[in-house]
């Protein structure tokens, strides 16, 4: 199993996931991190929500 | 359709096009220029309008290209801070403690879908977009409003994908923090 990543790393990868696919190993580390981290789970939801916000904003 | 009719129909969409351009360029003067260019290109390219899509959709397509051109010129202007300065990671350090935990963990926003129909919410969104560094805001708009993908943006702006990820990360982190402070936390306090 890969090493655990910090919130700092996880949040950067979560943002990157919005812009294309992450390599499998990194995606797995993010998923694993999210299982145990409520703060980053919120961050991930909010980043996806921002996309909806921007689409609505420009209509 | 006569040229005069076509011209009149095109100009009927001017207000809409200008609104889109201002939102994306965040500069009224530049937006005026871009819309003027778009209308001119549309008049000259009348033959290219097949009528299969709506006139508004066709004009919006032309406008997108003009906006991308304008952004590309803008980020290369020596008077604005170079894009490189907005793609450094150092200033994110304050967001995390020494071992990489959130200094202020993102709060639960509950079910924020309802906010999407509130005009006041979008006033706050606009306020938060205004606080972003200008090029960061432009790149973020290219990604989320014009829906260009990463490789397209990198090509248009001649930046690396790592630069792009940092810029978009910066935009998202700053926007979520600003929305939390000025909307979601305020709503929680008054609830």
DSSP string of B74-127? HHH-TTSPPGGGGG--GGGGGGB-TTS-BSSPPPP---GGGGGG-HHHHHHHHH
Check if the beta carbon of residue B25 is closer than 8 Å to that of residue B71: yes
pLDDT of residue A1: 43
Instruction: Kindly list the structural domains of chain B, giving each domain's residue range(s) and its CATH number in brackets, ordered by start.
Output: 3-76 (1.10.1740), 83-190 (1.10.10.10)
* A44 three-class SS: helix
What tokens were used for A31? Answer: 């998923």
Q: Where are the domains of chain A?
A: 7-57
Residues of B with CB below 8 A from A48's CB?
Answer: none
CB contact under 8 A, A42 and B101: no
Per residue in A2-57, pLDDT (tens digit) is: 468 999 999 999 999 999 878 999 999 999 999 999 999 999 999 999 999 998 88
pLDDT of residue B82: 59
pLDDT of residue B83: 66
Per residue in B29-58, pLDDT (tens digit) is: 999 999 999 999 999 988 888 777 788 889
What does the alpha-carbon distance between residue A31 and residue B180 come to, in Å, rounded to a whole number? 24
Residues of B with CB below 8 A from A57's CB?
Answer: 23, 122, 125-126, 145
Please name the residues in contact with B174: beta carbons below 8 A apart, sequence gap of 6 or more: B128, B131, B132, B136
pLDDT in tens, chain B (191 residues): 788 888 999 999 999 899 888 878 878 899 999 999 999 999 998 888 877 778 888 998 899 889 988 888 877 765 555 566 666 666 666 789 988 999 989 999 998 999 999 989 999 998 999 888 888 888 998 899 888 899 999 988 888 999 999 999 999 999 999 999 999 987 776 65
**Burial category of B23 from C-beta neighbours within 10 Å (exposed 0-12, middle 13-18, buried 19 and up):** middle
Chain A residues whose C-beta is within 8 A of a chain B C-beta are 6-9, 11-12, 15-16, 18-20, 38-40, 42-43, 45-47, 49-58
pLDDT of residue A11: 96
CB contact under 8 A, A42 and B109: yes
Global pTM value: 0.79
CB contact under 8 A, A11 and B173: yes
Predicted ipTM > 0.90 = yes
Least CB–CB distance from A8: residue in B96, B106, B145: B96
Nearest chain B Cα distance for residue A33, angstroms: 12
């Amino acid at each position: 199993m890969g090493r655990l990543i910090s919130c700092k790393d996880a949040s950067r990868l979560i943002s990157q996931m919005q812009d294309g696919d992450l390599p499998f190993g990194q995606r797995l580390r993010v998923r694993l991190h999210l299982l145990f981290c409520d703060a980053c789970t919120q961050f991930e939801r909010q980043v996806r929500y921002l996309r909806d916000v921007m689409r609505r904003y420009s209509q | 359709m006569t040229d005069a009719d076509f011209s009149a129909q095109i100009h009927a969409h001017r207000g809409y096009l200008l609104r889109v351009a201002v939102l994306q360029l965040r500069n009224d003067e530049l937006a005026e220029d871009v819309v003027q260019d778009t209308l001119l290109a549309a008049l000259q390219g009348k033959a290219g309008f097949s009528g299969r899509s709506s006139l508004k959709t066709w004009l919006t397509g032309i406008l997108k290209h003009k906006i991308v051109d304008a952004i590309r010129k803008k980020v290369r202007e020596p008077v604005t801070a170079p894009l490189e300065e907005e793609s450094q990671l150092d200033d994110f350090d304050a967001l995390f403690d020494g071992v990489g935990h959130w200094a202020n963990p993102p709060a639960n926003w509950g079910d924020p879908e309802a906010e999407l129909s509130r005009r006041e919410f979008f006033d706050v969104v606009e306020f938060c977009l205004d606080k972003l560094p200008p090029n960061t805001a432009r790149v973020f708009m290219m990604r989320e409003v014009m829906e260009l993908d990463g490789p397209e943006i990198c090509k248009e702006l001649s930046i690396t994908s790592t630069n792009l990820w940092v810029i978009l990360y910066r935009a998202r982190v700053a926007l979520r923090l600003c929305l939390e402070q000025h909307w979601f936390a305020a709503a929680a306090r008054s609830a």
